[in-house]
Chains A and B, each alone.
Chain A
């Protein structure tokens, strides 16, 4: 069974997922960060594929992406780094980024490589559902790869239902109409939206992301979904320390306990 589905079958609440950009802070930090995250008890990881024009991202992830590209990160390098990752890492791994680098890599080749490497899912905020269904879905299905759709407060109930019917992993619930990055707290308006989606009793599990940055926002988000994703706050921590291998553990401990 796909590791994403396995996780959501076994664990129904407080799933902690972490995002980081591959190739940042150093070109070869990818595998060390993954090991640090698994050891610290993280449930799932999204590995960012850096892109020159990350439209859905705020300043922190933009900055990490351009540094990663300068460091020499590319899909080819990333797959090389991850080639034997499944010898050490058991938790579900997803790749997150933008569609253009994948198109140039070749979509079929990309999906095959994901399967070979042991990647379980892919998140591409700039690939709309109908384009996915018409042109790409077969390659994902052939390689047992979950494609994760995003919903925002602007997504209509009708479209949320459609996305739910197409989703095979989980639904990424963007916490507010926003690019990535910390917002400090969760506003009443967001809670209203979380409750509205929760009340729809969707088939797919929900994971809340964007604006989740610390223990408080993580705990609150987990009341309305199976779990939550922390990205920018983690990337910022990596950017600001030389001791990131040690810091990963205390960062995750602070969220969980």
Chain B
């Protein structure tokens, strides 16, 4: 936990950053892959498959596979292979095979479909290491538990730094929802803590080019889970869009859908542009270049009126190295 002095001053409140970007491999994804690789080893599996959007989960999976000496195949939408090249190269250097998914919009959902098909074809040798709180049971539960270390650490580190375990707000970006679930987990039973999830509006909620599954979704079944998803009136899943490959998913973890329905979490959204602005703001005020995904959480700061005495925790789920191409393009256009 890091007290963001200049950012706090800018918003006239108290902002702490949960620095998941400082994890090995550069994001929160490693929390989950370490847990699941131990399970895979216990099950005696020899081959690991994974889906990835931004490549953060792919890199985290390739890393634990290298550590354990297990074969690793990562499915990644062809669109994402192109826009997240540094992560593709990291996975290859780690010894993983990266297979471009060529169906649909060639993004995260399509990578998940290909991974599920691989698993159907290789159920005996292969363990499917899912990267978010999505997919069939028990994955949403399991991944949520492995990521719950985020909120466990927020509690004791906030106590250490501020004398109270409970902030007024916890904010996180949400695509499938693994970093948000981790950041919210140990606060779910603490009604005083407001939990804010920021989904990716893409070009705008009503633009037709969006990945805001709560704002635009209806109840349906995607990849083995009943949840909110973006679909047409015939139940065909529609293609999402976000500048952020990690949030470019037409569904949302089923537990988040439930928490949204019960009102326990509040879901807001940020456009591509708002996320980019927030990324530059954090970089220039705190010297931290966030991942585009995490930038959506930071964009939420402008959407809520905070009191100067309040404590806000923002989960910086990953670092921005992989997004430099996009940031440079944006910088040139400014």
Contact = CB atoms under 8 A, between A and B. Distances in A.
Interface string B107-135: 00100010011001111100000000000
Interface string B208-223: 0000000000111111
Nearest to A176: B121
Nearest to B229: A100
Given A55-B116, A56-B120, A179-B117, A104 B233 contact: yes
A55 B222 CA distance: 10
B127 to A, nearest CB: 14
B121 A104 contact: no
B123 A100 contact: no
B222 A177 contact: no
Contacts of A154: 123-124
Contacts of B116: 55
Interface residues of A, number: 26
Interface string A46-86: 00000111011010001000100100001110000000000
Contacts of B333: none
A103 B109 contact: no
Nearest to B124: A177
Nearest to A131: B226
A51 B236 contact: yes
A116 interface: no
B123 A52 contact: no
A62 B103 contact: yes
A203 interface: no
A53 B223 contact: yes
Nearest to B117: A179
Interface string B90-111: 0000000000000110000100
Contacts of B120: 55-56, 177-179
A237 interface: no
A75 B103 CA distance: 22
Contact of B117 (A55, A98, A102, A105): A55
Contacts of B237: 52-53, 100
- Looking at B221, B222, B234, the one whose CB has the most chain A CB atoms below 10 A away is B234
B274 to A, nearest CB: 29
- Looking at A66, A98, A100, A102, the one whose CB has the most chain B CB atoms below 10 A away is A100
B69 interface: no
Given A53-B237, A75-B234, A76-B234, A100 B124 contact: no
Contacts of B238: 52
Contacts of B222: 53, 100
A101 interface: yes
A126 interface: yes
Contacts of B218: 104
A162 interface: no
A52 B223 contact: no
B123 A177 contact: yes
Given A52-B236, A177-B122, A103 B104 contact: no
A212 to B, nearest CB: 16
When A and B form their complex, which 4 residue pairs have the shortest distance between CB atoms, in order from nearest?
Answer: A104-B235, A101-B235, A52-B236, A74-B234
16 contacts: A51-B235, A51-B236, A52-B104, A52-B236, A52-B237, A53-B104, A53-B223, A56-B120, A74-B234, A99-B221, A104-B220, A104-B231, A104-B233, A177-B121, A178-B120, A179-B117
Interface of A: 51-53, 55-56, 58, 62, 66, 69, 74-76, 98-105, 126, 152, 154, 177-179
Given A53-B113, A100-B222, A105-B234, 13 more contacts: A51-B236, A52-B104, A52-B236, A55-B117, A55-B120, A69-B236, A104-B220, A152-B123, A154-B123, A154-B124, A177-B121, A178-B121, A179-B120
